[in-house]
Amino acid sequence: MRQAQPLTPDDRGRMVDLLLDRDARRLRSRGVRLEVTEAARELLAEPSPQPLHRTIRTQVNDRLDALLASAEARPGDTVVADTRDGHVVCTVAREDVEEAEAAAEAEGMPPPMS
């Protein structure tokens, strides 16, 4: 029986991108954009004892869900995932109304509600 080969750094980076793309689509369906910095991508792609999907869930998904549940992230907002002190942090960046409407129109979404 053949053993699975460990993932290369490039493989891990591609998997991070795929998992984050899924999160971005989920947020986009709620009118919220996700922006992930290169530093956050690199931190998430670092080898760890946890499976990659669990790292993404605990470092990003749980925080995104909390922002949505608390209504801190609203339609027209952008959630930025970045790093601070060796951890991924998610913050909400608000757009002004005109920018939010233009962004929504460009992505084929209804304009955000004020």
pLDDT in tens, 33-88: 999 999 999 999 998 888 899 999 999 999 999 999 999 999 999 999 999 999 99
Q: Give the structural domain span for 23.
A: 9-106
User: Does 4 fall in a domain?
Assistant: no
What is the Cα–Cα distance from 81 to 90, expressed in whole angstroms?
Answer: 4
Instruction: Report residue 40 as tokens.
Output: 């956050």
What does each C-alpha distance from 14 to 8, 52, 98, 107 come to in angstroms?
Answer: 10, 11, 34, 24
pLDDT at 15 over 70: yes
The mean of the pLDDT values for the chain is 87
Per cent of the chain over pLDDT 70 is 83
Task: Please tell me which residue, 22 or 111, carries the higher pLDDT value.
Answer: 22
Residue 23 lies in a domain: yes
Q: How many domains does the chain have?
A: 1
29 pLDDT tier (thresholds 50, 70, 90): very high
Name the DSSP letter for residue 40: H
| Residue 85 belongs to some domain of the structure | yes
The answer to whether position 114 is within a domain reads no
The pLDDT, as a whole number, for residue 114 is 45
- pLDDT at residue 112 tops 70: no
Residue 111 belongs to a domain = no
Q: Is there a domain that residue 112 lies in?
A: no
The whole-model pTM stands at: 0.76
Q: Rounded to an integer, what distance in angstroms lies between the CA atom of residue 73 and that of residue 93?
A: 9
The CATH code of the domain that includes 76 is 1.10.8.60
Does the residue 3 lie in any domain?
A: no
